[in-house]
């Protein structure tokens, strides 16, 4: 299967490297481009066989399944530029949240899907968020789902829950990293522990917790209860979290939802179909 990738920044590179790592796609099956071409060329030096072409249009000429991994506002001009070489049997896959699949299909002669990845897909784990356009046949849905299974757990999501799903799956690793940093700096500022030791302990703990969830040993609730020995120290800490966390996560999800509305205001005028919500 030839796979095209337009844009080899963080996510384009992550998808290429993850598909190669999972052995789902061989380097020689990739046709890629990037605005700064040297970035795509350095990937082809790393993985012998990747074909680098000079433009998005050339990618559409060489591949039928194409991941577009550029920022939201760059997608429409790119599709217009390649318009005369896009055919009915292409599949266009966008990886960004503020463009709906029906908006993509409205400016294409072919099916479109949206696949929002997460940095954790680099370890061939985590979810990818999958939404199919109306033109996607069962065959297209099955083959894209199978491809994504090689690097992730593909979860089909409705448009209405796009932002919150991506907050959890794709922004989540950054949110957690921030919280872990705050835990470490508080541990260092209130006790004798060094930053190095606190970082080591927290990192080991996070990896272990991930493995427990992977093995389905515990749910979030049963794990919490197992550690919270009656009358013990964990309960004291949990009580502080309950008393002081307040509505921080409610505020977070409201803020990202507002940003999503702003993103749509920028992107929507490019497309003939406007979102209904």
Ligand X SMILES: NC(=O)C1=CN([C@@H]2O[C@H](COP(=O)(O)OP(=O)(O)OC[C@H]3O[C@@H](n4cnc5c(N)ncnc54)[C@H](OP(=O)(O)O)[C@@H]3O)[C@@H](O)[C@H]2O)C=CC1
Only one residue has tokens 């380097």, namely 27
The binder of 131, among ligand A1CAB, ligand X, none, by C-beta within 5 to 8 A per type, is: none
Site for ligand X in 85-124 (CB under 6 A): 95-96, 116-119
- 131 lies in the site for ligand A1CAB, by CB under 6 A: no
HSE toward the beta carbon, residue 157, CA cutoff 13 A: 23
Among residues 170, 184, 264, 271, the one that binds ligand A1CAB under rule CB under 6 A: 170
Token pair recorded at residue 15: 């998808």
Among residues 3, 6, 53, 104, the one that binds ligand X under rule CB under 6 A: 6
* Cα–Cα distance for residue pair 194/189, rounded to 1 Å: 9
Among residues 1, 10, 142, 149, the one that binds ligand X under rule CB under 6 A: 10
Report, in Å, the least distance between residue 139 CB and ligand X: 26
Other residues' Cβ atoms within 10 Å of the Cβ of residue 4: 26
Among residues 3, 4, 5, 11, the one that binds ligand X under rule CB under 6 A: 11
Site for ligand X in 164-223 (CB under 6 A): 170
Whether the Cβ atoms of residue 95 and residue 68 lie closer than 8 Å to each other: yes
* Cα–Cα distance for residue pair 155/159, rounded to 1 Å: 13
- 68 lies in the site for ligand A1CAB, by CB under 6 A: no
- 97 lies in the site for ligand A1CAB, by CB under 6 A: yes
Report, in Å, the least distance between residue 165 CB and ligand X: 11
- Across the strands, what pairs with 33? 6
Nearer to ligand A1CAB among residue 79 and residue 116 (C-beta): 116
- 63 lies in the site for ligand X, by CB under 6 A: no
- 71 lies in the site for ligand X, by CB under 6 A: yes
HSE toward the beta carbon, residue 195, CA cutoff 13 A: 4
- Binding range to ligand A1CAB, per CB under 6 A, among 59-67, 100-108, 164-172, 189-197: 164-172
- Give the sheet arrangement for strand 65-68, strand by strand: 51-52, 30-33, 3-6, 65-68, 91-94, 112-116, 127-132, 153-156
- Binding range to ligand A1CAB, per CB under 6 A, among 26-34, 36-44, 165-173, 268-276: 165-173
DSSP code at position 33: E
- Binding range to ligand X, per CB under 6 A, among 4-12, 180-188, 244-252, 265-273: 4-12
Q: Is the dihedral of CA 110, 114, 115, 119 positive or negative?
A: positive
Only one residue has tokens 């503020």, namely 98
- 128 lies in the site for ligand X, by CB under 6 A: no
Whether the Cβ atoms of residue 44 and residue 51 lie closer than 8 Å to each other: yes
Task: Please count the residues of this chain forming the interface with ligand X, following the rule CB under 6 A.
Answer: 26
Q: Could you tell me what percentage of the chain is helix, strand and coil, using 3-state DSSP and rounding each to the nearest 5?
A: 60, 10, 30
- 116 lies in the site for ligand A1CAB, by CB under 6 A: yes
Residue ranges in contact with ligand A1CAB by CB under 6 A? 96-97, 116, 166, 170-171
């Amino acid at each position: 299967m030839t796979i095209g990738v337009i844009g080899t920044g963080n996510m384009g590179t992550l998808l290429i490297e993850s598909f190669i790592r999972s052995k789902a796609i061989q380097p020689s099956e990739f046709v890629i481009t990037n605005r700064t071409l040297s970035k795509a060329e350095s990937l082809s030096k790393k993985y012998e066989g990747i074909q680098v072409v000079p433009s998005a249009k050339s990618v559409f000429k060489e591949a039928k399944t194409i991941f577009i991994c550029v920022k939201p506002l760059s997608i429409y001009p790119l599709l217009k530029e390649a318009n005369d070489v896009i055919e009915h049997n292409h599949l266009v896959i966008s990886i960004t949240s503020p463009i709906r699949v029906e908006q993509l299909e409205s400016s294409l002669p072919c099916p479109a899907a949206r696949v929002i990845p997460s940095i954790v897909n680099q370890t061939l784990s985590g979810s990818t968020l999958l939404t199919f356009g109306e033109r996607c046949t069962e065959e297209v849905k099955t083959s894209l789902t199978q491809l994504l299974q090689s690097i992730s757990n593909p979860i089909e999501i409705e448009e209405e829950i796009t932002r919150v799903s991506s907050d959890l799956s794709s922004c989540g690793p950054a949110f957690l990293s921030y919280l872990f940093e705050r835990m470490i700096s508080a541990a260092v500022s209130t006790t004798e522990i060094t930053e190095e030791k606190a970082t080591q302990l927290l990192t080991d703990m996070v990896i272990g917790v991930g493995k427990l969830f992977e093995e389905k040993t515990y749910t979030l609730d049963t794990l919490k209860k197992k550690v919270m020995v009656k009358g013990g120290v964990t309960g004291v800490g949990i009580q502080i979290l309950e008393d002081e966390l307040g509505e921080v996560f409610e505020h977070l999800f409201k803020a990202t939802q507002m940003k999503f509305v702003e993103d749509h205001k920028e992107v929507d005028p490019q497309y003939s179909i406007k979102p209904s919500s």
